[in-house]
Amino acid sequence: MKVFNTSQIRQCDQYTVENDEISSIELMEKAALACFEWIKSQFSANYTYYVFCGKGNNGGDGLAIARLLLEENYKVETFVIQSSSNFSTDAQINFDKYPDSVSFLENDDFEIQQENKKIVIIDALFGTGLNKPLEGNTQKIIQKLNHIKGKKISIDIPSGLFSDSLPSEDQTIFKADVTLSFQFYKRAFLHVESAQYAGKIFILDIGLNSKFIQDEETNNYIISSKSVSDNFKPRDPFSHKGNYGKVALIGGSYGKIGSISLSTRAALKIGAGIVFTIAPNCGYSILQTLAPEAMFISGGDEKLITEIKISTEKTTIGIGPGLGKEKLTKVALEELLKSIQTPAVLDADALNIISENKSMLNLIPKNSIITPHPVEFARLFGDSKDSLEQCELAREMAKKYNIIIVLKGHRTAVLTPEGKCYYNITGNAGMAKGGSGDILTGMITGLLAQGYSPQIAAQLGVYIHGKAGDYAAKKYSQEAMTAQDIIHRLPEVFLNIKK
Ligand SMILES: NC(=O)C1=CN([C@@H]2O[C@H](COP(=O)(O)OP(=O)(O)OC[C@H]3O[C@@H](n4cnc5c(N)ncnc54)[C@H](OP(=O)(O)O)[C@@H]3O)[C@@H](O)[C@H]2O)[C@@H](O)CC1
Ligand SMILES: Nc1ncnc2c1ncn2[C@@H]1O[C@H](COP(=O)(O)OP(=O)(O)O)[C@@H](O)[C@H]1O
Ligand SMILES: [K+]
């Protein structure tokens, strides 16, 4: 699914009006109707709806939503911000059609009866046409709304938030519980600094022109369930274990055998044919017990890995979880990287070792996948001012080193050597626990071994990992789920991938 910037969304809107049998006012009505249907499906008529509108098309959406609510006998109070600007053409039409009176807001002295607990505030003040940070009365109105208790819904985007950039710390922005946005994810929804204002995001299909969407180029995408099922390869009934690849997961050190055992179990459970674990000898009984399906190879020492004895020709390597950064381990990693010709997966301490010896970046086989969290990324490539800047730096580094970077976080981004960014929208805060990343490493390595291309293995891996996390949260709660539960919920993910 493509992510477009504001100007592309505007062009898409325009193209639809010019090429399809729909006028801009009809498109606005369609958008408003989609919001109204969503609201109706969630809230009863016992709520009072306070609809705040601007004078642009976002306000036009708000006025149309308010009318649709009134027509179904919902209790509605509508406010329009008074300003020197005129209504946009379509907002004016919806203002004229509004069957009740509206209150014009000169300042923030409006009243909302808060004793009535059942309040929905609809924010249709500013949408993608925001042209500068809010100030003066508009700022005061939003600050006041942010202090009122009630359910808060933003139409298209929280007012005060820009679609394509991140806010400064002192920017005033409406804080929504839910954002009902039209047709596309906006980039601001995918970065934590801005996404926190949008709450839960629902993308409503308003039927914008599909040819425009198909032809218009972008470098930013969402990993959709459709792309996952399109790329998914069901198992061949005539296959044998050799068809599903040989994996070697390398990591663990004294006290951190758990991490490599999580990676090992994840690789097994994602369908890899044969799995080896290379770990220090202290991990032998632990691994043979926790993952009896996997074979153990000694890493050369009781407590740390000092040698990596595996033929890398036909084995897919995943290295890093719990590895440690001892001198001998570092030497073993360097030797390994020099000997591999095929793409590998590098995580955690493998990346931390490289960040202390940056020339090793050039040893990473091309098309390998590295899976840093933001701090590991900064150690490797330097600091960034925010997550958007970090994502752009990752795009450059993926191109420079010809690797795939899986930049982990609330919305993990997969950056490719062609400069594309694929955001993952599955997953939840229950996964913000030690061990989740180790599982991702095992999953991506397992997928790579099964013959998925590195880019697809990374995309499928982050999607499936997040989806399994979502099933785990549903069953055990975000609080009580542990990283292992992500592995346990993989069956639901596979059983639900539409083939
Ligand atoms: N995607 C789609 O296909 C569809 C999109 N649709 C909707 O259109 C929306 C975009 O509408 P839009 O372009 O009219 O702009 P919008 O956000 O209403 O803002 C412009 C108004 O705000 C004002 N203003 C701006 N910044 C300000 C500030 N800092 N402080 C104060 N004022 C400020 C500006 O005034 P000006 O500065 O120009 O005097 C002007 O009055 C989009 O988000 C979606 O909701 C649907 O209707 C149908 C399908
Ligand atoms: N709030 C969140 N929402 C969605 N996914 C999350 C969230 N927090 C963490 N995750 C996911 O959990 C994993 C954590 O990995 P990492 O930081 O390497 O932890 P560790 O290796 O210590 O388990 C990543 O895949 C990340 O995307
Ligand atoms: K809005």
Position 373 in a domain: yes
CA of 93 to the centre of ligand 3 (A): 19
Position 52 in a domain: yes
Spatial separation of the C-alpha atoms in residues 188 and 289, rounded to whole Å: 45
> What pLDDT does residue 243 have?
92
Pocket of ligand 2 (CB under 6 A): 373, 408-410, 412, 427-429, 431-432, 434-438, 440, 465
pLDDT above 70 coverage of the chain, percent:
100
Q: Say yes or no: 367 and 279 in one domain.
A: yes
Tell me the mean pLDDT in the region 369-391: 98
The residue among 214, 245, 279, 287 whose CA lies nearest residue 4 is 214
pLDDT at 36 exceeding the cut of 90: yes
> Atom 18 in ligand 2: which residue has the minimum CA distance?
437
Position 63 in a domain: yes
Q: Say yes or no: 260 and 127 in one domain.
A: no
> What pLDDT does residue 83 have?
86
> What pLDDT does residue 334 have?
97
- For 400, residues 6+ apart whose C-beta sits below 8 A from its C-beta are none
Using the structure block, give the residue that is written with the tokens 């042209």. 131
Tell me the mean pLDDT in the region 467-487: 98
Nearest atom in ligand 2 to the alpha carbon of residue 462 is 25
pLDDT at 117 exceeding the cut of 80: no
In the predicted model, what is the mean pLDDT of the chain? 96
Task: Mark the binding-site residues, compressed into ranges.
Answer: 57-61, 123, 127-133, 156, 159, 322, 373, 408-412, 437-438
> Left if phi > 0, otherwise alpha if psi is -120 to 50, otherwise beta: which for 177?
alpha
Q: Say yes or no: 268 and 170 in one domain.
A: no
Spatial separation of the C-alpha atoms in residues 66 and 49, rounded to whole Å: 8
CA of 200 to the centre of ligand 2 (A): 19
Tokens of 205: 């299909």
Task: Mark the binding-site residues for AMP, compressed into ranges.
Answer: 408-412, 437
Pocket of ligand 1 (CB under 6 A): 9, 13, 27-28, 31, 54-61, 85, 88, 126-132, 134, 138, 155-156, 182, 206, 208
Tell me the mean pLDDT in the region 435-449: 98
> Atom 16 in ligand 1: which residue has the minimum CA distance?
129
Boundary residue ending a domain (201, 218, 235): 218
Q: Say yes or no: 188 and 59 in one domain.
A: yes
pLDDT at 285 exceeding the cut of 90: yes
| ipTM for the whole predicted complex goes beyond 0.85 | yes
For residue 52, the cross-strand partners are 79, 123
Q: Torsion over CA of 79, 146, 174 and 69, rounded to 10 degrees?
A: -40
Name the band, by pLDDT with cuts 50, 70 and 90, for residue 499. low
Tell me the mean pLDDT in the region 77-95: 94
Cβ atoms of residues 37 and 72 within 8 Å: no
Tell me the mean pLDDT in the region 490-498: 92
Position 1 in a domain: no
Spatial separation of the C-alpha atoms in residues 422 and 445, rounded to whole Å: 18
Which residue type is seen at 196? Q
Reported for 388-393, long-range contacts at CB under 8 A and 24+ positions apart, including other chains, are 388/165, 388/166, 388/187, 388/191, 388/193, 391/191, 391/415, 391/421
Name the band, by pLDDT with cuts 50, 70 and 90, for residue 312. confident
Radius of gyration of the chain (CA): 26
Position 307 in a domain: yes
> What pLDDT does residue 59 have?
98
Boundary residue ending a domain (203, 218, 233): 218
Spatial separation of the C-alpha atoms in residues 63 and 97, rounded to whole Å: 9
> Atom 45 in ligand 1: which residue has the minimum CA distance?
58
Q: Say yes or no: 183 and 308 in one domain.
A: no
Q: Say yes or no: 251 and 191 in one domain.
A: no
Name the band, by pLDDT with cuts 50, 70 and 90, for residue 45. confident
Position 189 in a domain: yes
Position 300 in a domain: yes
Q: Say yes or no: 256 and 196 in one domain.
A: no
Supply the CATH number for residue 317's domain: 3.40.1190.20
Q: Say yes or no: 293 and 177 in one domain.
A: no
Boundary residue ending a domain (171, 200, 218): 218
Q: Say yes or no: 179 and 256 in one domain.
A: no
Using the structure block, give the residue that is written with the tokens 């972008």. 218
Tell me the mean pLDDT in the region 55-84: 96
3-class secondary structure for the chain? CECCCHHHHHHHHHHHHHHCCCCHHHHHHHHHHHHHHHHHHHCCCCCEEEEEECCCHHHHHHHHHHHHHHHCCCEEEEEEECCCCCCCHHHHHHHHHCCCCCEEECCCCCCCCCCCCCEEEEEECCCCCCCCCCCHHHHHHHHHHHHCCCEEEEECCCCCCCCCCCCCCCCCCCCCCEEEEECCCCHHHHCHHHHHHHCEEEEECCCCCHHHHHHCCCCEEECCHHHHHHHCCCCCCCCCHHHHCEEEEECCCCCCHHHHHHHHHHHHHCCCCEEEEEECHHHHHHHHHHCCCCEEEECCCCCCCCCCCCCCCCCEEEECCCCCCCHHHHHHHHHHHHHCCCCCEECHHHHHHHHHCHHHHHHCCCCCEECCCHHHHHHHHCCCCCHHHHHHHHHHHHHHHCCEEEECCCCCEEECCCCCEEECCCCCHHHCCCCHHHHHHHHHHHHHHCCCCHHHHHHHHHHHHHHHHHHHHHHHCCCCCCHHHHHHCHHHHHHHCCC
Nearest atom in ligand 2 to the alpha carbon of residue 436 is 23
Nearest atom in ligand 2 to the alpha carbon of residue 371 is 18
The residue among 477, 397, 392, 390 whose CA lies nearest residue 430 is 477
Query: How many structural domains compose the chain?
Result: 2
Which of the residue ranges 49-53, 116-120, 243-247, 388-392 would you say has the lowest mean pLDDT?
116-120
> Atom 15 in ligand 2: which residue has the minimum CA distance?
437
CA of 449 to the centre of ligand 1 (A): 49
> What ligand has the least distance to the C-alpha of 155?
3
> What pLDDT does residue 109 have?
87
Supply the CATH number for residue 33's domain: 3.40.50.10260
Nearest atom in ligand 2 to the alpha carbon of residue 429 is 1
> What pLDDT does residue 283 have?
97
Spatial separation of the C-alpha atoms in residues 326 and 144, rounded to whole Å: 55
> What pLDDT does residue 188 have?
97
CA of 430 to the centre of ligand 2 (A): 9
> Which of the listed residues 193, 373, 425 should we mutate to test ligand 2's pocket, taking the one with most ligand atoms within 8 A of CB?
373
> What pLDDT does residue 102 have?
94
Spatial separation of the C-alpha atoms in residues 462 and 224, rounded to whole Å: 11
Q: Say yes or no: 66 and 198 in one domain.
A: yes
Q: Listing from the earlier edge strand, what are the strands of the sheet with 200-204?
A: 103-105, 75-81, 48-53, 119-124, 151-155, 178-182, 200-204
Name the band, by pLDDT with cuts 50, 70 and 90, for residue 107. confident
Taking the CA atoms of 419, 425, 431 and 435 in sequence, report the sign of the dihedral they define. negative
> What pLDDT does residue 255 have?
96
Name the band, by pLDDT with cuts 50, 70 and 90, for residue 307. very high
pLDDT at 114 exceeding the cut of 90: no
Nearest atom in ligand 2 to the alpha carbon of residue 412 is 27
Domain that holds residue 302: 225-496
Cβ atoms of residues 324 and 255 within 8 Å: no
Task: Mark the binding-site residues for K(+), compressed into ranges.
Answer: 58, 123, 159
Q: Say yes or no: 185 and 143 in one domain.
A: yes
> What pLDDT does residue 481 have?
98
CA of 481 to the centre of ligand 3 (A): 35
Tell me the mean pLDDT in the region 16-27: 96
Tell me the mean pLDDT in the region 472-481: 98
CA of 86 to the centre of ligand 3 (A): 18
Q: Say yes or no: 197 and 258 in one domain.
A: no
